[in-house]
Each structure stands twice: as C-alpha cells, then as structure tokens.
Chains A and B, each alone.
Chain A
Amino acid sequence: MKIAVCAKYVPEATAARRIDPSTKRLDRSGEGALNPFDANAVEEALKLKDAAGEAEVVIVSVGPAKALEAMRRALAMGADRVVLVSDEAAAGSDLVATSRILAAALEREGADLVLFGQQANDGDGAVLWAAVADRLQRPLISQVAELEHADGKVRGKRQTEFGYDVIEAPLPAVIAVSDAINVPRYPALKGIMGAKKKPQETLSLADLGVPAEEAGEAGSRTTVRALNEPPARGDTQKIEDDGSAAETIVAFLQERKAL
C-alpha cells in the first residue's frame, strides 16, 4: 500500500506573523516548520503502515525550497520519502491553483490513500482536501477522528454539528483527519539521524506538466484587494470582586439589555 500525506510548510508557531503589504501575502521569510496539524496525518499514515506490515509513506508538499528541511521532521517520525513541489511560479497560489498543483503531484504518485491534516495553522481555510479529491476524482472523508482500514476500504468516524457520522469509502480515497485522531510521536534520535539520508525530491511545475500560467497568482481566481485594521471593540471594563460581583454583572446585563 502507498500512502501520500499532504503537508504544508508554515511559519514557526512562536514567530510573529505578518502580511507583507507589498505582496499582500503572508511573510514567509522567517523560520518555518511542518504544519503541526499535518503531524496528525503523518502519525495516522505510520499507524496504518505498522498495521499493514508493508506500506510506503510519502510526504507531498508545495512550498518554498527551504520547506524540505521542515519536512524532514516527517521523515524523522518514520515517513519514507518527500516530494516537494517548489517553483517561483507557484507562489501566491489560491485554493484553485494549489489544488491543481497538489493534485498533479499526487497523480504522479498514484497513492492508495491520500491523507490531509485538519487545517494549516497559517491559513484558516481547511478546505483543500475537498478540492484535491474532486480533481483526483476520488471519494472523500473529512474531519475523521477515528480511521479503520480493511479489505480495500477505509471507514472514518467524524464529528459534525449534529453528532457523529461513520462514512466508508473504497480505496483509492482521500481522507482528512482531525487533530483528535491521535497524538503524533516525537521523532527518536535514530529517526532524526536517518532522516537526511531518505529520498527527498524537489520538482518544478514543468516536471508535473502544470503550465506556469495555471499556478501562482496567474492561476488563481481570488484576489486580495486591501488590508485593514480590525474593527475596535467597544470599551472594556475590569473589576475586582469585592463580594458584589454578581450584582454588578446583573446590573451590567440589564443596562445592556441582555437580561
């Protein structure tokens, strides 16, 4: 079995994040890391590999050249190799363009199972998997909190606004996992040492047969028009409880017509 895990290179969680006013894109010049939510997808792939006895886990990413180093964390966890699509022409891709590039890279791999994490911690989109599944014409199960694999099928349990769904799909399939599904392992020292030696391939858009005009801003269908300050909240007040806090709260709620 071959499992592809889609992983994103994101700014370090501790770094201050800013949007570059000239490009209107997230400033990615600082230190980066493997998107922490993608570590759940890597972990689930490794668990499936352990259960199946034999499987290949390949990390597929689209990002800047320096993303390769961050992806080594997935190799250190136990993934077998990395494919990074890195091309100047891909920068600034929106959902439509990113899904096109990623789907091309995944087509090349022909994996039985494509896994996504639940969101990128720098994008708030959490929808890429559905676009990729449509391009690959594969069944999709998203937000999976429990995953089972047997007899060429996967079964995912997930949370919705109303309760739980259990959805089944034949392989090949696309699965997006929730971060409730597992606790990603920490790479062991041996894994970290061995990660550098594992196959790491960098591809251009041309290698995938994706024309440059179908990627980046040229291939995108959304635009960023302006950046604005967030609206200010009204005045805030803070009091210390002197024994009458409950009365103060009730008076406040009545004044604001909330009671």
Chain B
Amino acid sequence: MRFLVFLEHHEGRLQNDSLGVLGKAASLGDAEAVLLGTEVEGLAADAGRFGAQRVHVMDDVLLDKPLPQPRVDALETLLGEGAFDAVLFAASVLSADVAAGLAARLDAGLNYDLTDLAVEDGELVGKRPALGDSIYVDVGWSADPRLALFRSGTFEPAESGGKAEVQKLESRLQDFSLAATMVEQAHEESEGPSIEDADVIVAGGRGLGGPEGFAAVEELAKALGGAVAATRAVVDAGWYPYSAQVGQTGKTVSPKLYVAVGISGAIQHKVGMQSSSLIVAINKDPNAPIFEYADLGVVGDLNEILPKLTELVRARRAA
C-alpha cells in the first residue's frame, strides 16, 4: 500500500506524533510524506530517517502560518498527481482541520480518533475507541483515498536511518483558502517538556485544594524529570493554565508514567490519559473512579505523601 503522511512541524522541528504515524505507515507499506511551509526542505532528511521513502515539499510563503485551508489546496494538488491508498494525519488543532477539509474536498472517507491501523486480508482497518473508550470499533473505508486521523500520542517515532528522495511541488491555492489570516501568534514558553512529548507526567486535580497545591506537584514532576498536567476542573478554576489540561476537552497524552494527584478520574479525564503505560493515583477518596484503572492506587493524604515521595525520588535519581 502507498501511504502519504502529513508532517506537522513547529519552529523547525518535525512533531513527534507525525513521526510516529510515519513509522506506522512505513511498517505497513510504502511511506511517503508531505511537508508544507516555508524553508521546510531541510526537514525532509529527518523525515527520511524516520521512514519516509519520498518527501513531497511545497515551499510557499502563503503556507508560512499554520492555517488549514491552504494546506487542503496543497494536498488536493498532490493527490491529483499521484494515487495514494491512504493519507494519514496525527491529530492536532491544525491537522484535524486539514484532514476534514480534505475529506470534503475529495469526497473521501475520514476516520478519526484512531489508535491503531492494520492491514487485514488486504484491507486497511482502523481501530477506534468510542463512547468514552468503553467499546473498540474496527472502521474501514469504501473508497480511495482513505483519510485517517490518529489520536495524539498513539505511535512512538521509529528511526530507520533511511534517506528520502525530495520531490518539489508547485502550489495552487484558492482565494477563499487565503481569506483567513494569522494576526498574532503568542507561543508560550513553557518550562520543562510539553505534556504531549513528556515520558513522565504528574497531574493535579481538585484534591490539591487550591492553586498553591501545584507547588508540590511541580516539585515531584521536577524530581521525576517530567511535566505537569492538570484536570479541566482546576483549569476552569484558574489554578493552572489550559495548555497543561489533559482530558476530553484538553490534550490526550500517553506517557510511560502518569501520576494522578488529587484527581477523581471522571471519564472526561480518563479518555485523555488512559493509554499511559503506567498509572499511579493518589487520592483520599477510596471510591474515586481513578482507582479502577490505576496500576497502583494509593488512598491517602497527598499533603503527606507528595513531599516524602519527591524526596525519595530525588535521592534515588541522585544515587
């Protein structure tokens, strides 16, 4: 099968989620990639190292800002020139809009929120958790090209050390696609790793009692070399910024270790973090739903446990 992977990049770096999807494509068939933006040709070599045989590059000042609609035009052009069996996207604010716009443009099927992709009896099959992940649905496509949007954090990038051939592409952008313009981009400089790329996440919820409760969470995260996340309830209450929010209306993360502190674990939170490899929960309510899916649940007072835990982790890592 011939795959095209839409590669998202930010400040001169390919996004991990995109590279993860690229690796998945390479494991199933011939993986090609597309890079859209300004001065992006240099990133093609990185795409090659992570599994792309060929990288289609469209360098255009009109593609400088991360806006979806001109990208739909660019992909339509590319797909008009070569037949791909499937076009794959790693979900993000930008990519979701690009994928859905392209689906309408081409009358192509888009399956979204996928957590895996397989070839079964020669057919491409997507795996999608539904209804708060209580059921897993096998989805398919009835026509070419098949569009697939993967839940963030689904695949780890796999470095293959390959080299990609670069193919340049001329853009044909439509007027309406250029009508929306980026007026301002204020990109937050966050300390430490961002939660989507972090291997370790320490997350705080309402059980922290107030914004000051996050100090102990930050200390533990620092000791573990991880990032801090928050539930929607505390973000809504203004205790912590939205950029750290995990859950249905925030980010979906799948770190190697997720430590949930003072989080009851409602379904809206669960869907954002349940694919973490290891979940440790600390909560004073023994009936908190989070204990149903935490690998290790601790019923206790976080104010007593957190400082001790931080100290022990520090000592262990220093040893």
Binding site for B on A (CB under 8 A): 17-19, 24, 26, 94-96, 99-100, 103, 118-119, 124-135, 137-143, 155, 158-170, 173, 178-180, 220-231, 233-241, 245-250, 252-254, 256, 258-259
Contacts and interface: CB of A to CB of B under 8 A. Distances in A.
Given A119-B249, A238-B297, A239-B299, 7 more contacts: A127-B99, A134-B101, A134-B105, A163-B188, A230-B134, A234-B295, A259-B313
Given A96-B110, A228-B138, A169 B179 contact: yes
B99 A228 contact: no
Contacts of B311: 246
Contacts of B32: none
A95 B139 contact: no
B182 A167 contact: yes
Interface string B177-214: 10111111111100000101000100000000000000
A140 B68 contact: yes
A220 to B, nearest CB: 7
A214 to B, nearest CB: 9
19 contacts: A96-B107, A99-B100, A127-B112, A128-B100, A131-B104, A137-B176, A161-B92, A166-B184, A168-B181, A169-B179, A173-B180, A221-B109, A223-B109, A225-B125, A226-B138, A228-B136, A229-B135, A236-B294, A250-B312
Given A96-B110, A127-B149, A134-B104, A139 B180 contact: yes
Given A125-B112, A160-B93, A256-B278, A229 B183 contact: no
Contacts of B129: 230
B140 A223 contact: yes
A113 to B, nearest CB: 13
B141 to A, nearest CB: 6
A218 B200 CA distance: 45
A221 B107 contact: yes
Contacts of B140: 222-225
